[in-house]
Structure 1
Amino acid sequence: MIQIRNLKKVYNRNQKNAYTALRNVNLQISKGEMAAIIGKSGAGKSTLIHIMACMDDYDEGEYFLKKKLVKGLPERKAARIRNECIGIVMQDFALVEEFTGLENVMMPLDFSRRKIKGKEEKALEALEKVDMEEMADCPVNELSGGQKQRIAIARAIVNNPDVILADEPTGALDTENSGRILELFLELNREGKTIVIVTHDISIAKRCKRIIEIRDGEIFTPEKSFSQK
């Protein structure tokens, strides 16, 4: 599903304040896996997930998504990949606060270049999957943090993506809501979805099938296997 070889990312390249965020990163995520990426703030984990999500480019190495090389894409092509192949869940939810839950979930369908029939029905199905169908007509700015994150997950899965990438999806939530969000990801993984979660919470990371640790822009240790409970 995802293959990364000798990846390097430098910010402010050829300037005095140049900073190497990632160096010599090699990583493979197979179809149907659920992996956690952990590391301290500034270690490079968010940079890596942004590259995987086609939200950022890299300087050296190779990144293959579904055996296709992803490098230097114009924004239009990158946006199409994000829309059709990748579901993205962010810590700050990245929802349109004035829109309803249904309107937010329908956005990927509205922006798709494919002709999609029954958009509202598909969005409602996604909301039902995360137990938020009753909030479909509620403005997002009236929802709790946990409810917003479930709306964000519904939006991420509505286009039936190949992989779901989540950057600190529980970072802004309390323990109870964090547990609910994790259970949603575990259920999606059991259904066959490939999921990669960036997290600082080791208890969440241990529920994933693999842990990948990043330190100072490099993968620090081999992946560690854990059994899901």
Structure 2
Amino acid sequence: MSETTRRDGDEARKRAALWGLLARVVIERPTPQWLDELEAALGAADGSRPLAPQLGALLAALRKSRRHPGGATVLAVDRTRLLSMVMHGETLTAPCESAALGVAPGGDRVLDVLRSYREAGFEPMALLGAPDHLGNELQFVAHLCRQEGEALAAGDDAAAQRCRAQQLRFLSRHLMAWVPAHCEQLAAKAATGYYAAAATLIGRACKLSMDEVDPFTPMAVAA
């Protein structure tokens, strides 16, 4: 394996770790075990990466929330209000692509999401309530990054190239179409600093993924 291929594989795995972490921030309930794990991961984040300020802000907000009695309960209530498929009012749509864009849940856009999943062998979490839920879409990008890393490790450059093309297509057609704007709403309406910081981090990650000259510049979190 060439040094370039090895480096590209490492970067793909780092991207997978980042997108997987973002997905878990959305999906996981704020249990003590998960918050311990998240705090450790954020504490080990590479401070030289483009997302370092947002990762640091999330870590600070997490630590602040944990210093207060009942902090996990407050976080759980805020998570339900912001990231579940219930309790949404007129000013905050459900956290899924179809709701955010005001299109039919069974329409062409969601069918395209499902087609992308199927082509890559990805199974969305039914418990999230919608295949185009933010957590599922973030997990899918992590899945594609992992597949890219595995293809590079196996010396299959053609498969790795297909994975990169799938990432670009899904990021540009789907995540960028709604996630940054939706995350701005989430950050503004969050009742906790933790979920405000999480929303800001996710929105910024999506923008960086497309704004960089090389859209796959790694924004790593230590595994």
Question: Aligning the two structures, in what range does the TM-score lie when normalised by the shorter sequence?
Answer: 0.3 to 0.5
The structure with more helix, counted as a fraction of residues: 2
TM-score (norm 1): 0.34
The structure with more strand, counted as a fraction of residues: 1
TM-score (norm 2): 0.35
Higher relative contact order (CA 8 A, sep 6+): 2
